[in-house]
């Protein structure tokens, strides 16, 4: 049996967790919150992320590249937020810089290793 807890599947695993949380939020907003429009948007987003995860675990190159670029844009978003963000800075206060820098370093490392292990570029 293959192990999915590996740097080769790091983004696949992160997106899988996000897809599961999205599906749980669909259940929560539909049954508990009694909303009908919001769960449909969350469900479509969760289905897309779930499919990316499934095909990422199946070693599909296109899914791996899409996951790579999603996390690349997230990392650049965090980098620019470090210099220009007002909302995140007020939300996190003095902890903003260490949290943001730590996330940039972690995602940067994962981007490098994910690209190397999957031979994307």
2: in domain: no
121: in domain: no
120: in domain: no
Total domain count, the chain = 1
Task: Give the range of the structural domain holding residue 50, as residue numbers without chain letter.
Answer: 7-115
Determine the pLDDT at residue 2. 67
68: in domain: yes
DSSP secondary structure of the chain: -----SGGGHHHHHHHHHHHHHHHHHHIIIIIS--SHHHHHHHHHHHHHHHHHHHHHTT-HHHHHHHHHHHHHHHHHHHHHHHH-SHHHHHHGGGHHHHHHHHHHHHHHHHHHHHHHHT--
Per-residue pLDDT tens for 6-44? Answer: 778 888 999 999 999 999 999 998 888 888 788 888 899
Per-residue pLDDT tens for 61-105? Answer: 999 999 999 999 999 999 999 999 999 999 999 999 999 999 999
């Amino acid at each position: 049996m293959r192990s999915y807890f590996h740097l080769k599947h790091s983004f696949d695993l992160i997106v899988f967790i996000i897809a599961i949380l999205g599906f749980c939020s669909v259940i929560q907003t539909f049954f508990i919150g009694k909303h009908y429009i919001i769960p449909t948007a969350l469900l479509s987003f969760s289905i897309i992320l779930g499919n990316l995860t499934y095909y990422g675990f199946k070693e599909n190159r296109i899914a791996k590249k899409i996951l790579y670029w999603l996390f690349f844009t997230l990392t650049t978003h965090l980098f620019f937020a470090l210099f220009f963000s007002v909302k995140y800075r007020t939300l996190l206060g003095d902890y903003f810089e260490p949290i943001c820098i730590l996330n940039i370093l972690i995602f940067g490392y994962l981007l490098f290793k994910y690209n190397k292990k999957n031979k994307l570029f």
